[in-house]
Amino acid sequence: MSTQPARGMRDFLPDDVRRRQYVMGVIARVYEQYGFAPLETPAVENIETLLGKYGEEGDRLIFKILKRGEGAATGQADLALRYDLTVPLARVVAEYRATLPKFFKRYQMQPVWRADRPQKGRFREFYQCDVDAIGSHSVVVEVELLAAACDVLARLGFADFTVRLNHRKALSGMLQASGVPAALHGETLVALDKLDKIGPDGVTRELAERGVAPAAAAALIALFSDGAAGNDAILARLEAVVGGDEAGATGVRELRAILALAAGTRAAARLRLDPSLARGLSYYTGAIFEIAVPDLAGSLGGGGRYDDLIGMFGKQAVPACGISLGLERILVVMGERGMFPPDLALAAADVMVAVWSEARLADSVALAAELRAGGLRVEVYPEADKLGKQFKYASACGVPFVAVLGDDEAARGEVALKDMRTGVQRSVPRADAGREMVAARGQAQGE
């Protein structure tokens, strides 16, 4: 029987879990500071809730769960694994609208599952860290979300990220102005989204294949390739391009408002207008964002406004906007750059109580209880083994202290403490042992 995890899935050993918990802890604390509250939804949803929400490709990648009981023989599925955190949020908002605050602001950090072909850095189970604000059309929402995401990355130690910013309505205005018929807007955006990857020539070819006229394609690519200009220059140019197109003008006006409102926040220095940013998902209706660092091909996160999705579940259209941070990518970059705090790699215990002899077992267990009451993390070696072997084990585990209740020490009411970094061993009164090590731990952390 194989003992490996299933294909594309991962086991997280203690050091992995500590790194993941550290990053998720920072994310949660920052989002709480912005007034977002935690939400959790089930891993398993009714299959109709998910199907048809992620496009044809998405439907194919959903893990489907077999019916139980008599339905099992039919080979049919009635349930499926969560594919993202946005569709469950839309379901939750539709279900609990009456009891949720009017402006419901939630964050959610849970795994999602996709039956993608596993690759380096792409897994079939991975965490999304989503933050969404429901119930307002105001661009204050976009700005708060952007400030929060920038705050998260800054607190994690990222100094070199940028947030690309664009707007679906501005894009629509640009396409209109460039002479792309409305029926081809969707396909044109899919092609333009690849500008980074396949370059202007590649995009020109794709646009031609999709039936976009050469003149329109050339106009668009010229518009999208001038990324070096500042935000103000781009805004002015966009305004000129979209002209009187109503949707386009709305989009440009909102982009201008977002940049102005963001001035007093952490996001100000990060925002870069990028007319070529399109984002793959079809449900966006307004501003869209994508967070990038220079040494990563993909993005660390992204999002945007989606004012029509929740209406698919309820009777009522409810405006919404959100950002999703990709935990796995953040972890990869932080690992490559050595950005984790050094004390995350600490041993699982501050001290190991060694066992002098079978007769001293009970007293060793009692000593551990005393030390824990003083706030220490205490490991007990479980057997009366050779002392040398016990010290070696403590050393291998990286435990900084070993405490031994030898017969002599016990008779004097003392404990022998060995500092595993210096090798120095000394006896201290048993009642003081905990304080001594707490003080030493404080010193070590201050080093």
Touching a second copy, residues 148-207 (CB under 8 A): 151
Nearer to a second copy, 221 or 403 (CB): 403
Which CA distances in Å does 113 have to 8, 18, 32, 107, 199?
10, 22, 26, 19, 31
Q: Comparing C-alpha atoms, which of 363, 161, 180 is closest to residue 271?
A: 161
> Is 13 a residue that touches a second copy (CB under 8 A)?
yes
Please report how close the Cβ of residue 425 comes to a second copy at its closest, in angstroms: 21
Structure tokens at 98: 């009456």
Token pair 């003080």: residue: 439
Nearer to a second copy, 155 or 185 (CB): 155
User: Contact, 356 vs 404, CB < 8 A?
Assistant: yes
Nearer to a second copy, 110 or 225 (CB): 110
Stretch of residues binding a second copy (CB under 8 A), selected from 143-151, 155-163, 179-187, 324-332: 143-151
> Is 103 a residue that touches a second copy (CB under 8 A)?
yes
Please report how close the Cβ of residue 296 comes to a second copy at its closest, in angstroms: 24
Contact flags string 312-351 toward a second copy, x per CB under 8 A: xxx---------------------------------xx--
Stretch of residues binding a second copy (CB under 8 A), selected from 235-243, 285-293, 296-304, 381-389: 381-389
Q: Is the dihedral of CA 66, 67, 69, 72 positive or negative?
A: negative
Site for a second copy in 16-75 (CB under 8 A): 16-18, 20-21, 32-46, 48-49, 60, 63-66, 68, 72, 74-75
> Is 209 a residue that touches a second copy (CB under 8 A)?
no
Nearer to a second copy, 145 or 221 (CB): 145
> Is 265 a residue that touches a second copy (CB under 8 A)?
yes
Of the candidate residues 56, 70, 101, 423, the single one contacting a second copy (CB under 8 A): 101
> Is 143 a residue that touches a second copy (CB under 8 A)?
yes
> Is 378 a residue that touches a second copy (CB under 8 A)?
yes
Q: Comparing C-alpha atoms, which of 373, 436, 426, 372 is closest to residue 404?
A: 426
**Whole-angstrom Cα distance, residue 109 to residue 185?**
33
Residues in contact with a second copy, counted by CB under 8 A, come to a total of 107
Of the candidate residues 124, 169, 305, 418, the single one contacting a second copy (CB under 8 A): 124
Contact flags string 242-261 toward a second copy, x per CB under 8 A: ------------------xx
Q: Is 123 helix (H, G, I), strand (E, B) or coil?
A: coil
> Is 76 a residue that touches a second copy (CB under 8 A)?
yes
Nearer to a second copy, 37 or 198 (CB): 37
Of the candidate residues 366, 431, 439, 444, the single one contacting a second copy (CB under 8 A): 366
> Is 229 a residue that touches a second copy (CB under 8 A)?
no
**Whole-angstrom Cα distance, residue 356 to residue 340?**
38
Site for a second copy in 274-313 (CB under 8 A): 312-313
Structure tokens at 204: 């020109």
**Whole-angstrom Cα distance, residue 346 to residue 368?**
19
DSSP state at residue 122: B
**Whole-angstrom Cα distance, residue 294 to residue 275?**
19
Q: According to the 3-state scheme, what is the secondary structure of 225-265?
A: HCCCCCHHHHHHHHHHHHCCCHHHHHHHHHHHHHHHHHHHC
Nearer to a second copy, 94 or 229 (CB): 94
> Is 118 a residue that touches a second copy (CB under 8 A)?
no
> Is 95 a residue that touches a second copy (CB under 8 A)?
yes
Of the candidate residues 208, 222, 240, 369, the single one contacting a second copy (CB under 8 A): 369
**Whole-angstrom Cα distance, residue 371 to residue 366?**
9
**Whole-angstrom Cα distance, residue 7 to residue 436?**
48
Of the candidate residues 184, 236, 339, 361, the single one contacting a second copy (CB under 8 A): 361
Please report how close the Cβ of residue 21 comes to a second copy at its closest, in angstroms: 7
Structure tokens at 297: 């091909």
**Whole-angstrom Cα distance, residue 309 to residue 53?**
9
Please report how close the Cβ of residue 203 comes to a second copy at its closest, in angstroms: 30
**Whole-angstrom Cα distance, residue 152 to residue 159?**
11
Query: Taking the CB of residue 214, how many other CB atoms lie within 10 A of it?
Result: 10
Of the candidate residues 215, 233, 240, 263, the single one contacting a second copy (CB under 8 A): 263
Of the candidate residues 79, 174, 281, 323, the single one contacting a second copy (CB under 8 A): 79
Q: Which residues of 256-275 are buried (b: 16+ CB within 10 A; e: fewer)?
A: bbbbebbeebbbbebbbbbb
Nearer to a second copy, 96 or 337 (CB): 96
**Whole-angstrom Cα distance, residue 226 to residue 300?**
23
Please report how close the Cβ of residue 56 comes to a second copy at its closest, in angstroms: 14
Which CA distances in Å does 62 have to 80, 124, 282, 331?
7, 10, 18, 25
